[in-house]
Amino acid sequence: MLRRILGSGVLGRKVGNAGIWTLIWFGSNSGLRLVSNLILTRILSPEVFGLIALAQVFTGGIVMLSDVGVRASVVRSTRGEDPVFLQTAWSIQIVRGTIVTGLCCLVAWPAAVLYDQPVLFPLVCVLALSALIGGFQSIAIAVADRKLMIKYVTLLRLTSQLVALVVTVFMAWQLQSVWALAIGAVLSTVMTVSLSHVVLPKYTHRFTFEPQALREIVSFGKWILLATFFTFLGGRGQQGIFGALFPLEVIGLLSISTLLASVPNELLKKLLNTILLPSFSEIMRERPEQLPRVLRKVRLFTIVLAFPMFFIVSFVAQPIIDLLYDDRYAGAGIILALMALNMAIPTLSTTYQNLLVAEGRSDLHAFLMFIWAAGTAVGIVLGFTILGLVGSLIGVGLAMSLMFFVNIAIATQRGYATVWLDILSFAIVVGVYLVTLWTLDIPPSYLSADLIHQIFE
């Protein structure tokens, strides 16, 4: 479908092949993650998943805080295949990984004190090794994304994930602790980095900081850095706020629900981020007059593909949880139903945001992520005080809605908004949301800030 939208020429053929391999990656990745989760939840307790979720708030946050957009710079730059530019990008990548690891180790002890969980100190330090190791990943992965050569990157990542899955399950069986998950995460990074230098085309990797390339990457990346910081606050930061409001068992349920609710969202993000950013960048460089037509068709395709998936997951949320997990995780059904609908809302904005990055307007992208992050923090806390856990989830949905309307305003100002389609689609989501809230059998403990602590403590 995307191939027909983007044309039948070279770009269309590349998009077709990239789309097939993206779907293969998504299906295989989601399948392996689900299998891993099903096995591990039978070996490990909900508290373990709550611990790893809290640790990843800090490691994931610092990783995102330091994202200077190396991949996006390679994809969109006119020098994206210049060896000197690539060497500079790789050098920045390594420096970033080293800084991330150091910062994670610095915040590990305060994190353990903040949540009164001493194990967070060594756990965060071990997980931080992934950033240090990941900095040495071959720049060939970014070039492959630029050229829409997804096949070998997909095979590489699937191999790494499969090996990590086997080791993680074995270690969970042996250790019966959170350390199995930490070891698996680090091993996955080691495998990805190693294979990136073996499987992909060879590039000369040496430390280079060419001033012109450095300026280009930093100038573009400073806004990407800010955008990813706000993305962390609105995404991973949710776990941190939830961790301050709810017991570990509830954080574990939220983690499980996020994994399942994100399946449709990850599919859309993978397709759009892998295909649209390079495609939009090429169209804007070579034939910008085609952009409005392509954008309208892509947005319609996105909505028609995404909404049924989110609605189905929400509708069958409780049966999914009951089928896949034991009684300890039964409370995740209500959370999953609302999370799936929350995640339907940002799909309305994703295409516009890809276009902003392709245009080089990473500053506007950063502004949108700030709106989302601030709205999410306020929505969770305010919702919690009014309606407990359910109120917090509704607050997340309201924050996503706010970002959506700001995104429409920006797109309208820039002359490419499909307003009628956007408003109609949003109205459909709101209608389904209200029906879901009306029909869900929500226990009183999920509607009270005090009762949920009494139940789980």
pLDDT digits (tens, 9 = 90+) for 57-77: 777 767 666 566 677 777 777
Which of 104-108, 138-142, 252-256, 362-366 has the weakest average pLDDT? 362-366
3-state class percentages of the chain: helix first, strand second, coil last, to nearest 5: 85, 0, 15
| Residue range 236-243: mean pLDDT, rounded | 69
- Between 243 and 140, where is the model more confident? 140
Instruction: Return left, alpha or beta for 360; rule: phi > 0 is left, psi -120 to 50 is alpha, else beta.
Output: left
Put simply, whether the predicted model's pTM sits higher than 0.85 gets the answer: no
Closest CA to 12 of 21, 2, 20: 2
Structure-token match 């599919």, residue found: 267
Of the pLDDT bands very low, low, confident and very high (cuts 50, 70, 90), residue 394 is very high
Closest CA to 68 of 32, 43, 99: 99
Going by the DSSP 8-state scheme, the letter that residue 18 receives in this structure is: H
Which of 93-102, 141-150, 418-427 has the weakest average pLDDT? 141-150
Tokens, residue 257 = 């629900």
